């Protein structure tokens, strides 16, 4: 269900004990739900752009300090620094020995090219680029009703998954919050930017024969089944 098989050529890597993949999807598409499942199944590391940056800055690595200077100046971290951070994780993080899930990178074709160059030097390549696709209008309704428990990251929804007590976490009883950017106007702008950035990257991986799409409007269990169908090809 949901997999666009016509977009996934026979040249893609066969199933193996290792997995190197990119997970693509707009905010709220379910990457945060599916990535931990993939990580557990394949025993690989989950490299999310923001988390990697924060960890490197906290650890005060050489790249982390460079990234901090750039961010403190209000500028975007360069592609070279980002690819360097990924390489640093692949070289030093034991969880990355069998592969990785990249989340939030690459966002542009030049980033994808730099990533390929780095992996080529390690005699590795991307096995899958999987896009979680969902209609923008449905995504807006999903996000706008979202409630979050900040300490655990547990999420609720006004309509589809309300807490037992209004605005209160089921487990701890602590108050839930709404993110300031979880509003329709902000989200529509983010989605426009996402589509503009993502289309060329999707085309890049389509040409390489490693791209697949999954219908992310389905239930999380159905999305997981679709992902497994892709991995088993």
Flag whether 155 is marked binding: yes
Is there a binding annotation on residue 165?
Answer: no
Q: Choose the catalytic residue: 20, 31, 66, 114.
A: 31
Instruction: Select which of 7, 133, 154, 190 is catalytic.
Output: 190
The rounded distance, in Å, linking the Cα atoms of 56 and 118 is 19
Question: Is 20 annotated as belonging to a binding site?
Answer: no
Q: Is 142 annotated as a binding residue?
A: no
Q: What radius of gyration do the chain's Cα atoms show? A: 18
117: annotated binding-site residue? Answer: no
Active site residue 146: yes
Find, among 184, 202, 188, 232, the residue nearest to 133 by Cα: 202
* The one catalytic residue among 20, 66, 142, 146: 146
- What's the token pair of residue 110? 């030049």
Which of the residues 66, 107, 114, 142 is marked catalytic? 107
For this structure, is 179 an active site residue? yes
Task: Consult the annotation and say whether 32 binds a ligand.
Answer: yes
* Euclidean distance between CA atoms 187 and 195, whole angstroms: 12
- On whether 184 is known to bind a ligand per the annotation, the reply is no
Tell me whether residue 192 is annotated as binding: no
Closest listed residue to residue 105, CA positions, set 73, 129, 69, 74? 129
Q: Facing residues of 146 across strands?
A: 157
User: Is 33 labeled as ligand-binding?
Assistant: yes
CA distance 23 to 4: 15
**Residue 204, annotated ligand binder?**
no
75 assigned binding-site residue: yes
Out of 41, 122, 179, 189, which one is annotated catalytic?
179
Q: Is 62 annotated as a binding residue?
A: no
Q: CA-to-CA distance for 147 and 154, rounded, in angstroms?
A: 8
Say whether 12 counts as a known binding-site residue: no
Residues noted as catalytic: 31, 107, 146, 179, 190
Residues contributing to the annotated binding site for AMP:
49, 54, 75-77, 104-107, 111, 179, 190
Residues contributing to the annotated binding site:
28-33, 49, 54, 75-77, 104-107, 111, 146, 155-156, 179, 190, 218
Residues contributing to the annotated binding site for ATP:
28-33, 146, 155-156, 218
């Amino acid at each position: 269900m949901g997999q666009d098989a016509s977009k996934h050529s026979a040249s893609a890597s066969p199933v193996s004990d290792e997995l190197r993949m990119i997970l693509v999807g707009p905010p709220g598409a379910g990457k945060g739900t599916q990535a931990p499942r993939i990580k557990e199944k394949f025993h690989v590391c989950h490299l999310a752009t923001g988390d990697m940056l924060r960890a490197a800055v906290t650890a005060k690595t050489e790249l982390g300090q460079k990234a901090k200077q750039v961010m403190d100046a209000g500028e975007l971290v360069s592609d070279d620094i980002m690819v360097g951070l990924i390489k640093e994780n692949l070289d030093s993080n034991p969880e990355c020995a069998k592969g990785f899930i990249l989340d939030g990178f690459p966002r542009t074709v030049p980033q994808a090219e730099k990533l390929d160059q780095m992996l080529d030097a390690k005699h590795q390549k991307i096995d899958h680029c999987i896009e979680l696709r969902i209609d923008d209008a449905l995504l807006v309704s999903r996000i706008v009703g979202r409630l979050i428990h900040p300490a655990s990251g547990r999420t609720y929804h006004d309509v589809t998954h309300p807490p037992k007590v209004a605005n209160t976490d089921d487990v701890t009883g602590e108050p839930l919050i709404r993110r300031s950017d979880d509003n329709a106007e902000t989200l529509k702008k983010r989605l426009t930017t996402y589509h503009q950035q993502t289309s060329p990257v999707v085309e890049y991986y389509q040409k390489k024969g490693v791209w697949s799409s999954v219908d992310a409007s389905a239930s999380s269990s159905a999305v997981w089944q679709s992902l497994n169908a892709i991995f088993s090809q």
